[in-house]
Amino acid sequence: MGVTIGGTGSYLPKRVLDNDELERLTLDFDPVRAGCSLDEWVTDKIGIRSRHRAAPGEGSAGMATAAARAALDDSGLTGQDLDLIVLSTFTSDHRLPQSVSFVQRDLGSTAKCIQLEAACAGFIDALAVAVGLMTTMGYHNVLVVHSEVMSVLSDPRTFLMQAIFGDGAGAVILQPAESDSVGITAIETATDATNCEWLYAGGGSLSPRTPEVIDNGSFFIDIDNQAIFPFAVEKMSDVLRSVVASASRLLDDVDWVIAHQTGINISRGIATDTGIDFSRFLMTLPHTGNTSGATIPIALDFFNRRGVLAEGDFIVLPAVGAGMSWGAVSCTWVETKAGRAARSRRSEVVSDNCVSRGVVFA
């Protein structure tokens, strides 16, 4: 059974935190030593101008539900039509009940619920789980969503992690494809835990939240950026090539790459390594930041609703994340309701002011 994406949705909190405000809020950026403003530094090094922040009382379940409703509307379904929900997040609102239960309840659904505790590669893992269950257990209308409140794990006193990470959720509806030649054509996932501690965040049974770890900063997310950069470029490039080959296609056939967006230089590195022109990389990074595993479905929805994704486009979605995990999905795009409407008015919606080659400014 083939599987296609029948609808896309996303949600970004209303509050936007730009680099200028971030410089005023944090304590450890020295513009004199840097020789530039924080905005200049972050834009040049990471490619992010702003990111969204969840409001007080706004959690991963609520954001996931909002993204899910948009995806359901795009697919023409309701929550009652769903028979499976797969949510990926490592910032669940509670240990119990899991955020996915609130999503099911608030959508008015009776679908089977599964929650994966995964970070930046979580959306790819969730797609793999969903497609596998559709194939083996006969599920037909499936919601796959990644939702992350990264701000709860970013030290408010320091600028770097706050500059990198944003909050948000993205969702897709999966349905049986009319033929094996359209929809999802290949999925690959892998893990190498040898260097799993390159990314760290507290909050588990051996790293509980205490005043001491909050005060010394060891509770918050920490990344070995120097180690992860070459690893991310290598693994995403390798798995991109692999899923393209598994789909019996060539790199020259790739119309669009929507990669996990952790930094613009990583995406540029993938383009260089694979030989895929950077103009074929679609990014929302400048205005969303790194929303962990939600970056791919947020970008997918952004470009779908702006008429960029056309019927028959060959799209590859590579990701790398904590663990260390990586994976990719390739698909031959089938237009959704929102995509068709956007393409009919694309000349009015998409312009050089909205989309530039390799980077989206919005």
Q: Among the options 146, 290, 304, 331, which is catalytic? A: 290
Q: Are residues 163 and 222 in the same domain?
A: no
Q: What pLDDT score was predicted for residue 349?
A: 45
Residue that has been written with the tokens 């996303």 in this structure: 10
Look up residue 209 and give its two tokens. Answer: 């939240």
| Among candidate residues 113, 142, 176, the one where a domain is terminated | 176
Q: Are residues 154 and 219 in the same domain?
A: no
Q: What pLDDT score was predicted for residue 359?
A: 47
C-beta neighbour count of 67 within 10 angstroms: 29
Q: Is the pLDDT of residue 357 over 60?
A: no
Cis, bond preceding 211 (omega within 30 deg of 0): no
pLDDT digits (tens, 9 = 90+) for 242-252: 999 999 999 99
Cβ–Cβ < 8 Å for 49, 43: yes
Q: Are residues 166 and 187 in the same domain?
A: no
Q: Among the options 120, 141, 304, 331, which is catalytic? A: 120
Contacts of 347 (CB under 8 A, 6+ apart): none
> What gap in Å lies between CA 123 and CA 92, rounded to an integer?
15
Catalytic status, residue 260: yes
> What gap in Å lies between CA 271 and CA 333, rounded to an integer?
21
Q: What pLDDT score was predicted for residue 358?
A: 58
Q: Are residues 164 and 191 in the same domain?
A: no
Catalytic status, residue 354: no
Q: Are residues 300 and 170 in the same domain?
A: no
Number of domains in the chain: 2
Q: Is the pLDDT of residue 345 over 90?
A: no
What's the mean per-residue pLDDT of the chain?
A: 93
Q: Is the pLDDT of residue 336 over 70?
A: yes
Catalytic status, residue 290: yes
Q: Are residues 231 and 132 in the same domain?
A: no
Q: Are residues 169 and 290 in the same domain?
A: no
| Structure confidence at residue 158 as a pLDDT band (50, 70, 90) | very high
Q: Among the options 19, 260, 287, 331, which is catalytic? A: 260
- Could you tell me the residue range of the domain that residue 114 belongs to? 3-176
Q: Are residues 20 and 130 in the same domain?
A: yes
Give the percent of the chain with pLDDT over 90.
Answer: 88
pLDDT digits (tens, 9 = 90+) for 31-81: 999 999 999 999 999 999 999 999 999 999 999 999 999 999 999 999 999
| Among candidate residues 143, 176, 209, the one where a domain is terminated | 176
pLDDT digits (tens, 9 = 90+) for 207-263: 999 999 999 988 999 998 899 999 999 999 999 999 999 999 999 999 999 999 999
Q: Are residues 239 and 116 in the same domain?
A: no
Quote the radius of gyration of the chain (alpha carbons, Å): 19
Q: What pLDDT score was predicted for residue 362?
A: 41
Mean pLDDT of 318-326: 94
| Among candidate residues 176, 197, 229, the one where a domain is terminated | 176
